[in-house]
Amino acid sequence: MGKIGLFGGSFNPPHIGHVNVATTVQKKLGLDIIHIIPAAQNPLKHPVEGPTPEQRLQMTALAFDTYGEKFLVNDCEIKRGGKSYTIDTLRWFQQQLPKDDLYLIVGFDAFEDFGQWKDANQILELAHLIVVSRPGGDFPESKETLPEFFKPYAANFEFNVLELKTKKTIQFLSLKDIEISAADLRKKIRAQRNTEKFLPLSVESYIREHHIYQTLGPKVGDYEKFTHFCKDFLNSKKAINVLAFDLRELTAPTEFSLIASGTSTRHSVSLADNLIQAVKEEYGVYPQSLEGITEGRWVLVDYGSLIVHVFYDFARQEYQLEQLWKNGKQLT
């Protein structure tokens, strides 16, 4: 009976933090093999502009190429296509390796949101969990401090191992990690900033050779026209008080900015979702990054030289972003 680790994610791009997670877990917990599994599409994340799933797979293979036979990059989720649900992957591995113990490796943020995963209760019946921390992460120290989802499953908590009523365990492992996220890395690459200490050299070379994470400028073209398109679309969807600003004469992180409100958090999320779809259909691009889409109080849609802010209207009154741009040119 082997101990098989499963380490999934978008790997967009794969960076040394990912490598550190896999190598540290393998060494400290003695796993026989760790399968590195790039997702076709993360069901809890909206698509952003970037590499194809096949390119993410190739970059991930390059990142782990020199670490030996204990680390296998697996294309099962990309071959399956569609949204990548962990429960489906676990069932597939259970069929392939019926005599082995499966260990699912997740970050602490994913652990806290675990109850949102599809068939999360069944995952706890199929696999042990290994929860790794980022710098500054605080692990639970008792049943009472567990996320609510896990409390009914907790049997015995001893040191850094939680025994579950499903006969599986959750192990907590602290890492010495570099504090970098894939989203931050994408921004650095687009801004042509130095990323060599965050990316394996082979991955950095691949990104450069294939022109991945380029700015959206060539695809968007005229950003003033693009800003008007987004403004008109939000007005058509009954957004409140849609304002657009030309900030090119100011010192600002973007050339154009657009702000709008929804009547509720649900309306704000709907406005942002519909705008993203409309831009994809008209211009063929997704945003470079997307923030706040889960809560809906302040959704930030980043198209590079245009950043769109969609607020729940009460939150907009709290932040008063318009005052930051009062010296800019308002587009009518």
Same domain, 200 and 232: no
Read off the CATH number of the domain in which 173 is found: 3.40.50.620
Q: What pLDDT sits at residue 322?
A: 87
CA dist list (Å): 62 to 8, 69, 198, 293: 16, 14, 14, 32
State the Cα torsion 284-242-321-314 to the nearest 10°.
-110
Res. 244: pLDDT tops 90? yes
Copy the structure tokens of residue 175: 């890492």
Domain boundary pick from 209, 226, 247: 209
Please count the structural domains in the chain. 2
Helix, coil or strand: residue 167: coil
Same domain, 50 and 192: yes
DSSP 251-273: --SSSEEEEEEESSHHHHHHHHH
Q: What is the C-alpha separation between 120 and 321, in angstroms, rounded?
A: 39
The residues, any chain, with a CB within 8 Å of residue 121's CB and separated by 6 or more, are 153
Taking the model in full, what pTM does it have?
0.90
Domain boundary pick from 186, 209, 232: 209
Q: What is the DSSP letter of 170?
A: E
Same domain, 139 and 269: no
Same domain, 159 and 292: no
Q: What pLDDT sits at residue 302?
A: 96
Angle 53-63/16-29 helices, nearest 10 degrees? 60
Same domain, 241 and 204: no
Same domain, 191 and 142: yes
> 278 lies in which domain range?
217-331
Q: What is the C-alpha separation between 242 and 229, in angstroms, rounded?
A: 12
Q: What is the C-alpha separation between 193 and 199, in angstroms, rounded?
A: 12
78 — phi, psi (to 5°)? Answer: -70, -40
Read off the CATH number of the domain in which 267 is found: 3.30.460.10
Res. 135: pLDDT tops 80? no
Domain boundary pick from 164, 184, 209: 209
In this structure, the strands spanning 161-164 and 101-107 are unpaired
Cβ(297)–Cβ(319) below 8 Å: no
Q: Residues 263-300: pLDDT tens digits?
A: 999 999 999 999 999 999 999 999 999 999 989 999 99
Same domain, 47 and 149: yes
Helix, coil or strand: residue 162: strand
Same domain, 252 and 169: no
Q: Residues 63-116: pLDDT tens digits?
A: 999 999 999 999 999 999 999 999 999 999 999 999 999 999 999 989 999 999
Same domain, 171 and 311: no
Q: What pLDDT sits at residue 176?
A: 80
Q: What pLDDT sits at residue 136?
A: 61
Same domain, 275 and 325: yes
User: Which of 294, 314, 302 minimizes the C-alpha distance to 276?
Assistant: 302
Same domain, 131 and 78: yes
Same domain, 201 and 153: yes
Helix (H) or strand (E) holding 307: strand 306-312
